[in-house]
Amino acid sequence: MQYALKSEIPGRVRLKLAGPVPEDDVAPLMALLEGCSDIEQARVYPRIGELAVEYAAGEGARDRALAFVGGIGRADVEAARGTCVASTTVQTRRLLLDIAWLVGTYLARRWFLPKPLALAYALVAFVPFGLAAARSLSRARLDVPVLDASAIAMSLLQLDANTAGETMFLLNLGETLEDYTEARSESALVDALLNVADTVQRVNGDIEEQVSVAEIQQGDLIAIRTGMPVAVDGVVESGMAMVNQASLTGEPLAIERTVGDDVFAGTSVEEGEILVRCKSEPGQTRLRSIVSLVKNADQYKSQRQARREALAARIVPFNFLLAGIVAVATRSIVRTSAALMVDYSCGLKLTGSIAILSAMSQSAHAGFTVKGSKYFDAVKDADTIVFDKTGTLTEATPRVVKVLGTKGWPQREVLRFAACLEEHFPHPVARAVVKAAAEQGLEHRELHGDVEYLVAHGIASSLEGKRVVIGSEHFVVEDECIEITSAQKTRIARETEGLSPLYLAVDGKFAGVIGVEDPLKKDVAASVQDLRDLGFERIVMLTGDNERTAARIAEAAGVSEFRANQLPEDKYAFVRELKAAGRKVIMVGDGVNDAPALAHADVGIAMGQGTAIAKEVADITLSDGDLPSIVKLVRLSRELSSRLDRSFAAVMGLNTAFLALGIAGAITPQTSSLLHNATTVALSLSASRPYK
């Protein structure tokens, strides 16, 4: 980017660019500048082609910041375009230009156009209002567009171009301000969601590494396995998987994807393993899926808010009835017009949607992503919360602290075989096993054949024609019929006391046990007590671990009710049982085995480090996976409900007062319209305030 130094003070420089900056380039340019560690703040002046940069303190920061600006090229701007949305600065600039245009054209018509031309212009300007009203009437609806068109038409029938023009000006101004306020809230939400990091498994030759989605480029090869998200748009190069596309198509059943098939970002693998060649910029697909989430939030609208908006819409016909009564009683067109100038629908829809967008945006900043406002309602009304154990109440980074081998199976071989199988799966315990093997320098990659992941049980594979299995005691001993002697059982119980054991068997013979320490998260006990203080009547822990381990974790967490040895169908059945008893249930989990229960609960909450399937079916995702976020979520949900109640009362009270004053003749219809639009914008701005 070419520039000349225009002025400078310590810590700040102003640069003259080669020419004006196109409006569409402002947001990506700002995103690039904000990504430079040496630039603390930047501002683009597009029309005059200037750039103000505040650089960080420290030696060389100024020169590095200027070098960064000079190195920005067209390709960089285009690349950044896919990962940013219009900034609030850009939106504000456009708002000011729109207002200036509205005010300027209105005053020019009012002051300089002769009455016949002003009337002709008013008739032309009325056409969009008339068409909107006609569309509503064609659907047999008496709504706000009909109300607005009727009020304008009354002035035009009196050949009063000034009043009609003033009414249309106020309506257009109000709509412009309302659109800006809503767009600003949506932009803040999208920005917050874009800041949530995602990672993928990139394959480069024989090496597989976990990297940020932001590092992925077109043409990269990505490995995706059971429970993992599809973070890119691409083509399957090898393997076969069942892919859940509910987020894109709404279809709950997974479909088979194999070599040559397309897969899309925002979906997830329920079962199988595929290698996918990325065919588009991940930033663009991620932005698309986030914007889609925001735009489609109406699917998940709060029933409480929907009922209020429906009430406001049902009031519109009564505006016409009231206008008729006023016309008969007063024979005053001015007072009759006043009855048509105020509606409740706009205020309720705008204040409600902005309050909800603000809550969703604040949620994203606080570490939880909410799919729609009805889940805030569900959290507010819930009286029971059910937790999975591993990765939810316990740390997402457990560690291996004990390895036991049997005769002929040294500890290192037990750990090597376990890591060979576990390296493919996105589960905290699997990561712990792989990490332990890496710390001991054990080479274990690709020693086996195809891997089969058995949900909530374990993993099976083959090695040199021998069947290798690893998993829970139930899976290895009962399902796989592996014999363990009483002496071995006694030793395992003694040496893995307080640990979560993984059993390994090779070719039908018991090989060893890996003891995984699954420490409780530091804030769990306090958070459980906070939830109890907030009124939750039942707090339950479900786990696939044995009774002894479950009791130890439950006691440490302060959870008085727990169930051990739970399979996915058991967790689902328990949630169904609670709901059948009239409970309002929150389910919190992170694994593939939690997905049925998450989907069936009144609101499912998935931990951010969990599997893609859990996050796909859940209604809320905790990006940082800590329990204090759930406490914040409950409090935020209750505050949102209170804010919606206050907004409803204010909209109904103020607009009723403006309606009464207009009908009484105390204010003109145009004044009531101005007050109506001004208070709607003011209440909307109030609704966008941060929650306590």
> Which H or E run includes 222?
strand 221-225
Beta-strand relationship, 538-542 and 384-388: parallel
CB 504 within 8 A of CB 469: yes
C-alpha distances in Å from residue 658, one per residue of 148, 344, 361: 16, 11, 33
- Say how far apart CA 334 and CA 673 lie, in whole Å: 13
Which tokens is 590 given?
């992170």
CB 567 within 8 A of CB 471: no
- Say how far apart CA 670 and CA 668 lie, in whole Å: 5
Q: What is the DSSP letter of 276?
A: E
- Say how far apart CA 431 and CA 35 lie, in whole Å: 31
Length of the chain: 692
Other beta carbons within 10 angstroms of residue 561's beta carbon come to 12
**Is residue 191 among the annotated active site residues?**
no
- Cβ-count burial 587-620 (b if 16+ within 10 Å, e if not): bbbbbbbbbbbbbbbbbbbbbbbbbbbbbbbbbb
Which tokens is 387 given?
């937790």
Torsion angle, alpha carbons of 408, 413, 417, 419, to 10: 150
- Say how far apart CA 51 and CA 5 lie, in whole Å: 10
The single residue listed with the structure tokens 């040294």 is: 410
β-sheet bridge partners, residue 563: 542
β-sheet bridge partners, residue 43: 52
Longest Cα separation, the chain:
106
Which tokens is 441 given?
């320098």
Torsion angle, alpha carbons of 9, 13, 18, 21, to 10: -130
* Catalytic hit among 148, 377, 388, 602: 388
Helix residue ranges, H only, 331-485: 333-338, 345-366, 373-381, 411-422, 428-439, 473
C-alpha 76, offset from chain centre: 27
State the catalytic residues: 388
